[in-house]
Structure 1
Amino acid sequence: MLRTSRNLRNAAAALGVLLLSGTAAFAQDASGKLVIVTSFPKDMTTAFQQAYQKANPKVTVEILNRNTNAGVKYLQETASNNGVDLFWASAPDAFEVLKGAGLLQPYKPKVEGIPEKVGAYPVNDPEGMYAGFAASGYGIMWNSRYMKANDLPIPKEWADLTKPAYYDHVAISAPSRSGTTHLTIETILQGEGWEKGWRTNKEMAGNYRTITERSFGVPDGVNSGAFGVGIVIDFFALSSQASGFPVEFVYPTVTTIVPANVGVVKNAPNKAAAEGFVDFLLSPKGQEVLLEPAIRRLPVNPVTYEKAPAGYPNPFKDKSLGSQVNFDVNVSQARYNVVDALFDQLVTFQLDDLKAATQAIHKAEAALAKKPNDKAKALLGEARDLVAAMPVTAEQAADPQLAGAFTVERKSAKDAVPERQAQVEQKWAAFAKENYANARKKADEAAALAR
């Protein structure tokens, strides 16, 4: 990662000169401290922070780094004595949560040339509570050297990662700890439907080497070759490529292109500086920052792509990107905490049992390929269905009473949570544990019949 850090330092220094002339007009009267809560990595925020401060020397930018869920909870908990000016993150549904709670205030950026939509998704909130400043898609990143060394096929679709060849070669971050991963999981659920989407997610999970606590742990692992394949937001792969790592990236058919956003917090102590920062992000020069090698985001101003390197993804030109999924932020918002809790209880905290069941299924499949057996085939189908089974339906997941049970964000299975939340989670965990054990048993029986 030394190369990435060096690129960022060089980028930050250059950006101060690059942006000074183009952004000095914004927030000319701003001064004092600008406090931003963000889920973006320090490497990215530092480049913008330094460039904005050079353009606005009377303003000192203070960055409070939180993952998306923690950032939302922080603003909720401190609302009565708010000291934050801006919320800056990828997940649009997180902004909907803040908007619904009345924790954002409207602002219309003083910038022209931004389209109404990126793909099928609105760039800005129709009510002006938050604005998109960059676009992002979700997909699969891999280390080319690792793939060659392990004789692995190149994946193109999510379903590819469910195949036996990828067992113990894939990684993802926990959606409860990463807003971008949550969007990936939710995109698959909306693109494939609740039942099929969870089947895909759980069958992929059976091949996971690890589940990282933070989203950047996945590209770090792919870059270093700790594992071969990672499920990531696109800019992780694009910035790694620009830094010289031997990685590639693909957008599966079932993906979505959504804006990363920024919103002024209600009762912001420094409203002038906050609004100036929003304009700064959307200015022509500010959009060019997104093209820097260590950042590599997709600008929301189509003109900026004229300065992008060859082969750079352009959702305004390539209409196929995200076209298969009409992402519904209201659906996502209604079941946000439920989806996170389901993933943790069925996957994150049950990964060893899920992997054991998956490995048994793979072995049975291999045995059946050599010696077909109708009874064994039926048992194998039952095993797969047990792994894919869900304890709640899509309708139940959107029930406010169920969603309301999840009031504490878990960092581990041992964290203390309210009784109602604990009861639901324990029920789901028991459901998964029993199903995975029975799936493994049926797969073993199928393999024995095929010997």
Structure 2
Amino acid sequence: MICLRVMMAIILLLGLCGAPGQPRAAERRQLVVVTSFPDSVYLPFKRAFEAAYADVELRMINRKTSAAISYIQDRASPRADLFWASAPDAFEVLKTSGELMKLGPGLRPDPAAIHGYPLHDPGGYYAGFAISGYGLMWNRAYLAARGLPPPKNWDDLRRGLYRNHIGITAPSRSGTTHLIVEMLLQSKGWDEGWRALLEIGGNLATVTARSYGVPDGVERGRFGIGLVIDFFGLRSKAVGHPVEFRYPDGVMFLPANIALVKGGRHAAEARLFIAYLLSDAGQKLLFRTDISRLPVKRAAYRRAPKGYPNPFTLPREASAPMFDIELSRQRYHLVNTLFDQLITFRLHELKEAWALVHRAEARLGSEDAPPQLKADLKRARGLLETMPVTGPRSKNPAFADLFTRHKPGFTVSEAQSRLEAAWKSAAIRRYDEAAQIAESVLERLDRAQEPPQP
């Protein structure tokens, strides 16, 4: 494999890019980068790269992941040269739709995998530049003021004591949140995964429109806990906010990637930027407190700050499944649509129903309750956990392909519209019925405690 330094030198010798530090304004070329990263991540790379290669200007177009996919697929203007984001399944979506081109030699450094998962596309269409883990961040002061314990794992978030204390982004609006959702579905299984997500949904304070809204909400104390990609929590702690971050057991580490977009005007300069990201200088930038990402090159961790997490040395549970990137790509829009129809758009009804169920369960757990009340409450929980799509059906490509992203000014297919309407009305009925059952259980418990009439 050609080393990255040689690759960069070859590009320069061929005259595809101006010499470092020698600006030639008349020949300055604009490299268009579509990215889901916030400016706190991309600006340090932009400034460092432009300082080294002054005849190339980076134009950053910031979009949430799903909108970035649409931007590239719609071939919007200005035409993208590079796609730069965290979610690997988004790259698979674009690769499958024919929007990416192969990187060529020298742009996929060692190591090739982490815990058996490829760090670069085996087909050569995108390369990992960093590694992402996913987990829980929380505000220490917020939890302490309310007497709440820090969560240790995903299932802790199902506990009723966290009601109105959790924030998440809609996966339809955040590629990293989509990965969290898909990881839970793959690690727990479709049915148990959705049971967990729906019960966590009952404890949400909000569903934010952008992924940045979750760490911001935790930092500001608008809610206490957030489900986030690791660099949000690590960066927030590094810059001095009173927060902590934890990788739950069984977390999967996946690459954050960059890819060449087919039809871009400046492929040579685009390859040079990829080479810079993978160079020692580029990897070192990831350790900046305002970035706080995990380098993709194992050797980079020799220069890591003290206590910095190293995913290559963190153990992986033997029972943890390997992330199925193809399955995630295939049902990408189906999973997002289900989450929105059952949680995002039904949040008020879902929260009210779960609050009543949790209250009734707490009462039943501390009292010698009649079997009929326990059976009724079990039925209420079942109504809240019912899914309109089975696991096997979610893996059916013909069914999953019915779903696309909702884009402003465009309508989805008639089949998708019908299914969404059916899921909406069924969810409203189920949540209402579950709430009524739980309320009835609580009323019967109250009556049972009343002293007998003389």
Structure-2 separation of matches of 1:22 and 1:56: 16
Paired position in structure 2 for 1:177: 173
Q: Which amino acid aligns with 2:101?
A: Q
- Name 2:35's counterpart in structure 1: 38
Residue type of the alignment partner of 1:170 = I
Residue 206 of structure 1 corresponds to which residue in structure 2?
202
Distance apart, 1:74 and its partner CA: 1.2
For 1:259, which of 255, 260, 272 is the aligned residue?
255
Identity of aligned residues (%): 45
Contact 1:137 1:322 in 2 (8 A): no
Shift of 1:346: 0.2
Q: Distance in 2 between matches of 1:49 and 1:433?
A: 47
1:17 is aligned to none
For 1:427, which of 419, 422, 425 is the aligned residue? 422
Which stretches in structure 1 are left out of the alignment for 5+ residues?
1-20
Q: How many residues align?
A: 428
2 CA distance for matches of 1:423 and 1:33? 44
- 1:319 corresponding residue in structure 2: 315
Give a deviation string over 1:122-173, Cα, whole Å, max 9, x none: 0111111000000001111000000100100111111100001100000000
3-state SS of paired residue (1:54): helix
2:249 is the alignment partner of 1:249: no
Q: Which residue of 2 aligns with 1:305?
A: 301
Partner of 1:143: 139
Partner residue in 2 for 1:162: 158
Provide the rounded CA distance (Å) in 2 between the counterparts of 1:278 and 1:316: 22
Q: Quote the offset at 1:186 in angstroms.
A: 0.1
**Correspondence 1:46-445 to 2 at 5 A:** 46-78=43-75, 83-108=79-104, 110=106, 114-320=110-316, 324-373=320-369, 374-409=371-406, 417-445=412-440
Sort the Cα spacing of 1:153 and 1:258 in 2 relative to 1 into closer, same or farther, 3 A: same
Q: CA deviation at 1:255?
A: 2.1
- Residue pair 2:7, 2:106 contacting (<8 A) in 1 also: no
Three-state SS of the structure 1 residue aligned to 2:300 is helix
Segments of structure 2 that go 5 or more residues without pairing to the other structure are 18-27, 447-454
Q: Which amino acid aligns with 1:95?
A: F
Q: Does 1:446 align with 2:447?
A: no
Task: Report the 3-state secondary structure (helix = DSSP H, G, I; strand = E; otherwise coil) of the residue aligned with 1:367.
Answer: helix
**Cα-to-partner distance string for 1:85-105 (whole Å, 9 max, x where unaligned):** 101111111111111111111
Name the aligned partner's letter for residue 430 of structure 1: S
CA deviation after TM superposition for structure 1 residue 113, in Å = 5.2
Quote the Cα distance in structure 1 between the aligned partners of 2:265 and 2:379. 58
Secondary structure of the 2:171 match is: coil
Q: How far 1:207 moved relative to its partner?
A: 0.1
CA distance in 2, matches of 1:237, 1:354: 28
Rg larger for: 2
The range that moved more, 84-93 or 313-322, is 313-322
Q: Deviations over 1:232-273 (max 9, x none)?
A: 000000000111001001111132100000001112210111
Task: Determine if contact 1:172/1:231 at 8 Å carries over to the other structure.
Answer: yes
Task: Give runs of ≥4 in structure 1 deviating > 3 Å.
Answer: 21-27, 414-418
Change (3 A) 1:346 1:415: farther
Mapped to 1, the partners of 2:104 and 2:152 lie a distance apart of 39
Amino acid in the other structure paired with 2:360? A
Aligned residues: CA RMSD: 2.1
SS of structure 2 residue aligned to 1:450: helix
How far apart are 1:446 and its partner, in Å?
Answer: 2.0
**What is the identity, as a one-letter code, of the residue corresponding to 2:440?**
E
Distance 1:107 1:358, change over 3 A: same
Which residue is 1:6 aligned to? Answer: none
